[in-house]
């Protein structure tokens, strides 16, 4: 399994503290605001990016008032900071490529803080374009194998008929890969067939992954990734590490 989705799914299962949940609310609120602004619409029926962001918000029980405020902010109906979207690129220990999606109201502050996190944790912030070419934007839908009755061949056929580009079969889940613009259509088609969706998001997926079998290196990689994800201005962290399941579970 690609490093990002493995990391995301294991984290999804971990209990979240109130502080973590509060940060998650803040990040998704930014997603909603940015989706409204870039899509020029506060109507999720005509703005698929907004629709996906709202579904993510509801999946973590984000209050409706928070969602409404974020939409109004995107429409310019309320006062508040204006977020600038930036992509940062760099390397984690072991030469692991790292791609960050940033939403900030102060580019200089964020750059300084992110550079500090890299340098203090055996990584380095790189130049624009240094690793971006290793990733491509795709829709990713995860389905827990234990929650469906279809066998692998039937599920793959159904996903492809729904419009998926590919299906990757992993130990516990199916990863359904779509074009970014098709993710909602595929997700809704699967749900209409009573298939429960574990997660759905548009991500930057690495074309290839780097195996990290050494425990010390893996620990350093995960520490840096977690610190970056905890930063208030970092919306998403993507990396091309591939840590064995047993080692990942041990370190988390």
Check pLDDT > 60 for residue 237.
yes
- What's residue 80's pLDDT? 64
Structure confidence by residue, pLDDT tens digits, 20-37 = 777 888 899 999 999 999
Q: Between 82 and 8, where is the model more confident?
A: 82
**Ramachandran assignment for 163, one of left (phi > 0), alpha (psi -120 to 50 degrees), beta (any other):** left
CATH code at 3-75:
1.10.10.200
User: Do β-strands 241-242 and 210-211 pair in parallel, antiparallel, or remain unpaired?
Assistant: parallel
* pLDDT single digits (tens) 157-193: 999 999 999 999 888 889 999 999 999 999 999 999 9
State the pLDDT confidence band at 66, using cuts at 50, 70 and 90.
very high
pLDDT given for residue 15 in this prediction: 41
Q: What is the pLDDT of residue 8?
A: 58
* Closest listed residue to residue 88, CA positions, set 202, 236, 190: 236
Instruction: Choose which CATH entry (3.30.70.980, 1.10.260.40, 3.40.980.10, 3.40.120.10) describes domain 134-206.
Output: 3.30.70.980
Q: Any idea where the domains of the chain sit in the sequence? A: 3-75, 85-129+209-251, 134-206
Given a cut of 70, whether residue 78 has pLDDT beyond it is: no
**Quick one: 85-129+209-251 is in which CATH superfamily?**
YebC, transcriptional regulation domain (3.30.70.980)
Whether the predicted pLDDT of 53 surpasses 60: yes
Q: What is the DSSP secondary-structure string of 122-160? A: T-EE--TTSSGGGEEEEEEEEEEGGG----HHHHHHHHH
* Residue 1 pLDDT: 42
Tell me the two tokens of residue 143: 């389905």
Count of CB atoms situated within 10 Å of the CB of 184: 19
Cβ atoms of 214 and 96 within 8 Å: the answer is no
Residue 182 or residue 60, greater confidence: 182
Q: Which segment, 43-52, 62-71, 113-122, 200-209, is predicted with the most confidence on average?
A: 113-122
Instruction: From residue 201, give the alpha-carbon distance in Å to each of 55, 64, 245.
Output: 10, 20, 22
Cα–Cα dist 60/128, whole Å? 33
Same fold across 3-75 and 85-129+209-251: no
End-to-end CA distance of the chain: 17
Give the pLDDT band of residue 104 (cuts 50, 70, 90): very high
pLDDT over 80 (residue 47): yes
- Region 63-67: mean pLDDT is 93
């Amino acid at each position: 399994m690609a490093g990002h989705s493995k990391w995301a799914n294991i984290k999804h299962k971990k209990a979240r503290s109130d502080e973590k949940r509060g940060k998650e609310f803040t990040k998704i609120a930014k997603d909603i605001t940015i989706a409204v602004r870039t899509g020029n619409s506060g109507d999720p029926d005509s703005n698929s990016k907004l629709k996906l962001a709202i579904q993510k918000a509801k999946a973590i029980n984000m209050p409706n008032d928070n969602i409404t405020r974020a939409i109004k902010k995107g429409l310019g109906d309320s006062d508040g900071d204006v977020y600038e979207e930036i992509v940062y690129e760099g390397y984690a220990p072991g030469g692991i490529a790292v791609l960050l999606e940033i939403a900030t109201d102060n580019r200089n502050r964020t750059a300084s803080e992110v550079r500090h996190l890299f340098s203090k944790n055996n990584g380095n912030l790189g130049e624009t374009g240094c690793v971006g070419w290793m990733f491509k934007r795709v829709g990713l839908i995860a389905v827990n194998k234990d929650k469906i009755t279809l066998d692998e061949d039937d599920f793959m056929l159904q996903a492809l008929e729904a419009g998926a580009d590919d299906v990757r079969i992993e130990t516990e889940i199916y990863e359904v890969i779509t074009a970014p613009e098709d993710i909602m259509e595929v997700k809704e088609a699967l749900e209409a067939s009573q298939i429960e969706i574990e997660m759905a998001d548009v991500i930057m997926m690495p074309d290839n992954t780097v195996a990290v079998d050494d425990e010390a290196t893996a620990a350093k990689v995960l520490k840096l990734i977690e610190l970056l994800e905890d930063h208030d201005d970092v919306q998403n962290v993507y990396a091309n590490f591939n840590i064995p399941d047993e080692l990942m579970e041990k370190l988390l």
